[in-house]
Amino acid sequence: MISPAAQHRVKVESGRNPAPDSQSADRTANGQYRAFLYKLKSDRKRLSSIRSQTRRVEVKREILTEYSDYLDGVLSADCGGQDSVVVWCALWAADVGNISRAVQLAGYALKHDMQQPDGFSRSLVESITEEISKAALAGNPADHLPDLQTLWALVAGQDMTDSIAAKLCKAYGMALAETDRNRAAELLEQAQALQSNIGVKGHLKKLQGVKPVTITTDTAKRYDLPTSRAAKLAGVSVPTFLKLASLNPAELPYVCFESGKHKAFRFCHRDVETFLQKRTHGAAA
């Protein structure tokens, strides 16, 4: 909700030099924008005085609710024009993890060619892309797949630094890991090419790990552990163990063969034991 001071400012602005009825809506809108610019300045000053990053995020989350009605009105009217309130709220929304709102506001800002606020060395496209990508990577990117798809389309072909483009490729690729492994691998490879230390090697290893092989007489001797026994050895259910194998193909390779209408899998006893030992040591550390 807008503060009493800002409400007063709206009244003052709209009361100056009364306009004809045909212009009253525009004058009211302009007055509201000026009032929210005033509020934005006050809120930014308040945020700059907070040293704790955690507390700053909490305050941003609180004050963003006070802009909701104004932002919804701007999006509904779709009039365009530079709107610093929209731009700042898009960045704040990403910072507090409200990625859907951030993408919604970013789409509007980019559609109307809005500019980055003064004091930023990056372009608006770069700031929006980086903040939203970072927010998605801070949690589970798959939870934000639709929003990352929208962002990808929004900034396609836009000029940005390689490091920021790499973050988007990483976030989008990780979001697709469970539903489109091939496309996910392509995006993570692209992220790696753009920034060598982006941190995707482990994810790529899982996506491009050892492929299941067709069972032969020779391999049957090595892959001596049926899935049920492997799961029992690991102390988990069969579905859980198969998921572990799919997520760790390099550590848990297997052979696959047809058993009637179903596929059966066999694992190497030594591989399973080694994998479990590593997990135990990792948990202890």
User: Is 145 domain-assigned?
Assistant: no
User: Is 245 domain-assigned?
Assistant: yes
Q: pTM of the entire structure? A: 0.65
Task: Check which CATH number belongs to the domain holding 231 and give it.
Answer: 1.10.1660
Q: What's the pLDDT band for 209 if we cut at 50, 70, 90?
A: low
User: Is 53 domain-assigned?
Assistant: no
Instruction: Give the 3-state secondary structure of 166-200.
Output: HHHHHHHHHHCCCCCHHHHHHHHHHHHHHCCCCCC
User: Is 189 domain-assigned?
Assistant: no
Compute CA distances 246 → 118, 184, 274, whole Å.
48, 15, 16
Is 50 exceeded by the pLDDT of residue 10?
Answer: no
Boundaries of domain holding 238: 213-284
Q: What's the pLDDT band for 212 if we cut at 50, 70, 90?
A: very low
* Cβ pair 107, 76 in contact under 8 A: no
User: Is 274 domain-assigned?
Assistant: yes
Q: What's the pLDDT band for 117 if we cut at 50, 70, 90?
A: confident
User: Is 275 domain-assigned?
Assistant: yes
User: Is 172 domain-assigned?
Assistant: no
Contacts of 84 (CB under 8 A, 6+ apart): 37, 40, 117
How many domains is the chain built from?
Answer: 1
User: Is 60 domain-assigned?
Assistant: no
